[in-house]
Structure 1
Amino acid sequence: MTTHVPRAAPGTPSPQVRTRSLPWDFTGAGGHRLSGRLELPVDGEPTAIALYAHCFTCGKDGLAAARTARLLAQRSTAVLRFDFTGVGGSEGEFADTDFSGNVADLVCAAAALTERLRPPTLLVGHSLGGAAVLAAAHRVPGVRAVATIGAPSHPAHLRRHFSPADRERIRRDGVAEVTLAGRPFRVGEGLLRDVVEQPQRELIASLPVPLLVLHSPDDRLVDPSQAREIHDAAGDGASLVWLHGADHLLTDRADAERAAQLISSWAAPLLAAPG
């Protein structure tokens, strides 16, 4: 199923988002302390628990992650967002990380939620984080729904963001400093090799739960054709919704609100069904 959702008219007022935000650190797959934040509804107990994976190098406090988590929490879904190993406030070296490690960190985050609160039933991922939740869904007991925002159909798409010269320096030296989104990062050869080796299409095709694919037809970083590939690979259990007018990073608050509302409305009957 494919749906088109228009953007709100300019000047449309945004509701005041009120949530409780708590530090939530836990141990990641590599033994490092990972920095997380749990977003909770202000009033009452959450009706669902979600786990949010941020985009490549963005971190848990990026606009899309923070806004989407808070808006979902306003709609009674508690959300854990965290920095992957080597990013933001988390320990570890970014140069030593790869896509498989991000997936493993998600599994550890789910285990921490299960131990300290209750198992997450919704996985949400933005961009490369979307690819990560698609890969992690098979390894998270109790998950009932997965939603992606601007995700590539395969993590190997990440290689396109490195110039041929950067890829050659990384290959030659094993690790090299490159500029990503205007910031310097030390990137290891393992990352570029690991993304290519992922069986992503097989994982999407065998996804055990319903999938919501959100993508902007105006996305200039991850081509909209990637969303169609995910949707088609997932088959009858997937829904594709176009976020007209949004950019890849959901830098406009109204676009983050729209994404959160769509995810919440779509997931509500799935998460409320008897286990």
Structure 2
Amino acid sequence: MPTERITFPGHDGTELAARLDLPEGPHLATALFAHCFTCSKDIPAARRIAARLAAMGIAVLRFDFTGLGHSAGEFANTDFSSNVADLLKAAEYLGGRGMAPALLIGHSLGGAAVIRAAGRIDSVKAVVTLGAPHDPEHVTHNFADALPEIAEKGVAPVNLGGRAFCISQAFVEDVRGEKLDAALHDMKAALLVMHAPRDAVVGIDNATRIFQAKKHPKSFVTLDTADHLISRGADAEYAAEVIAAWARRYVDLAPVAPPAGAPEGIVRVTEADPEGFLQDIQSGPDHHLLADEPRSVGGTDRGLSPYGLVSAGLGACTAMTIRMYARRKGWPLTGVSVDICHDKAHAQDAESGGQQGKIDRFTRKIRLSGGLDDDQRARLLEIADKCPVHRTLSHGARVDSTLVDPEG
């Protein structure tokens, strides 16, 4: 996954540090990610979600809010409103590159920020919140013991997650005065609310209130046993997959013209887990699936195996070919199902002219439903052998491989 390290001016002109995660294949759409309170663009959840979306063709800009991570400025001088203003500057930067964001994703307080910002970014078609509070004031629960000192002195240090931050009274007053119901009520973009029932930092009742305040279109998906930071890789990957699938309903994905000689376009396979076998498979703007290996051989069993995909192609092509023939003949075929089993067979047993070793064997069982006579059923069995994938597997194919520049 190509990643650009960039900077752009924030709400007060200070430089904000960002990463732009780009698809290795066609760029279908752009998302803007807002991190959680006092977090950064580089927390595991942000990195994992951005990586998976990029593998699915969606570029993701994730940046550090003013005074956090690698961004310039003083955190003590920021508040919720400045976070929203930073988001607007990030969207402006993307627009200047011809990549105006169609999708906003916000984690925790970042979720509240994207709700507030969505109506002010014309290109936004869909918004996703992850563990977001209904009221931004909720974050003050993290430093409730320090509120009297902050009120008395105007600013005071607090410890959040083992790190020291200076929180100002202006920040406290800003989040106390911020209500999201009006922004949710007026939001034109579709909304996906994602929340974990066991979130101990932001209770799931917040998700309920966000969902109820928004008009349709809206969706709610539970993150099951995830923690507030979505720290487990499997939870972050699940969130990314759901976001990508859901967003396709509402985000206009850029069309991809197939290259010459490839009428169906390019199928791109990208490694999703360098320590395992999980693969992202993207075919044009509309089709995404996973490939993996069974757990017994070190995979995570989250997708079909490579031979499973080949078997699926053979089965699908068989059923389509039978259906097309029966339709053309006007025969009463009401249903087709195909079972495929792949294994290795001794070459001699497969009547391959005395060759040594083993060859691949696909066993195909075809079920035909409807009022077909014996001659029609026999003919459709013959037609199954004429499906293009069957012919490819039977006659062989040539595979030409070359190394290309990773940036290409």
What is the TM-score when the length of structure 1 is the normalising length? Answer: 0.90
SS at match of 1:25: strand
Cα deviations across residues 214-269 of structure 1 (Å, max 9, x unaligned)? Answer: 00001110000000000000032211111111111011000000000010000012
SS at match of 1:143: coil
The answer to whether residue 55 in structure 2 is matched with residue 74 in structure 1 is yes
Partner of 2:14: 32
SS at match of 2:53: helix
Q: How many Å apart are 1:85 and its aligned residue?
A: 0.2
Name the amino acid aligned to 1:168: P
Name the amino acid aligned to 1:32: T
Distance 1:115 1:72 in 2: 22
Distance 1:181 1:238 in 2: 33
**Which of 110, 123, 140 is the equivalent residue of 2:104?**
123
The answer to whether residue 211 in structure 2 is matched with residue 231 in structure 1 is yes
Partner of 1:84: 65
Q: How many Å apart are 1:200 and its aligned residue?
A: 1.2
Partner of 2:95: 114
Name the amino acid aligned to 1:136: A
**Which of 142, 145, 155 is the equivalent residue of 1:175?**
155
Partner of 1:205: 185
**Which of 60, 66, 72 is the equivalent residue of 2:41?**
60
Name the amino acid aligned to 2:53: L
Partner of 2:196: 216
Distance 2:38 2:59 in 1: 23
Structure 1 window deviating more from structure 2 (232-241 vs 205-214): it is 232-241
**5+ long unaligned stretches in structure 2:** 255-408
Higher relative contact order (CA 8 A, sep 6+): 1
Distance 1:172 1:141 in 2: 41
Partner of 2:115: 134
Name the amino acid aligned to 1:37: R
Q: How many Å apart are 1:117 and its aligned residue?
A: 3.2
Q: How many Å apart are 1:91 and its aligned residue?
A: 0.4
The answer to whether residue 28 in structure 2 is matched with residue 47 in structure 1 is yes
Distance 1:132 1:205 in 2: 15
Q: How many Å apart are 1:51 and its aligned residue?
A: 0.2
Partner of 1:23: 5
Name the amino acid aligned to 1:226: N
Stretches of 4+ moved more than 3 A in 1?
A: none
Cα deviations across residues 140-187 of structure 1 (Å, max 9, x unaligned)? Answer: 1111000010000110111111123x0011111111110011111111
Distance 1:113 1:88 in 2: 20
The answer to whether residue 76 in structure 2 is matched with residue 95 in structure 1 is yes
Distance 1:149 1:86 in 2: 22
Name the amino acid aligned to 2:160: L
Distance 1:81 1:211 in 2: 19
- The alignment's C-alpha RMSD in Å is 1.1
Q: How many Å apart are 1:67 and its aligned residue?
A: 1.1
What is the TM-score when the length of structure 2 is the normalising length? Answer: 0.61
Partner of 2:230: 250
SS at match of 2:244: helix
Distance 2:216 2:99 in 1: 29
**5+ long unaligned stretches in structure 1:** 1-18
Structure 1 window deviating more from structure 2 (171-180 vs 98-107): it is 171-180
In 1, are the aligned partners of 2:104 and 2:127 still within 8 Å (CA)?
A: yes
Partner of 1:6: none
SS at match of 2:238: helix
Partner of 1:8: none
Cα deviations across residues 179-222 of structure 1 (Å, max 9, x unaligned)? Answer: 01111111111111000111311111111111000000011100
Partner of 1:264: 244
Distance 2:199 2:216 in 1: 25
Alignment coverage as a number of residue pairs? 254
Distance 1:124 1:85 in 2: 18
Q: How many Å apart are 1:273 and its aligned residue?
A: 6.9
In 1, are the aligned partners of 2:184 and 2:215 still within 8 Å (CA)?
A: no
SS at match of 2:67: coil
Sequence identity of aligned pairs in percent?
A: 46
Distance 1:236 1:271 in 2: 16
SS at match of 1:139: coil
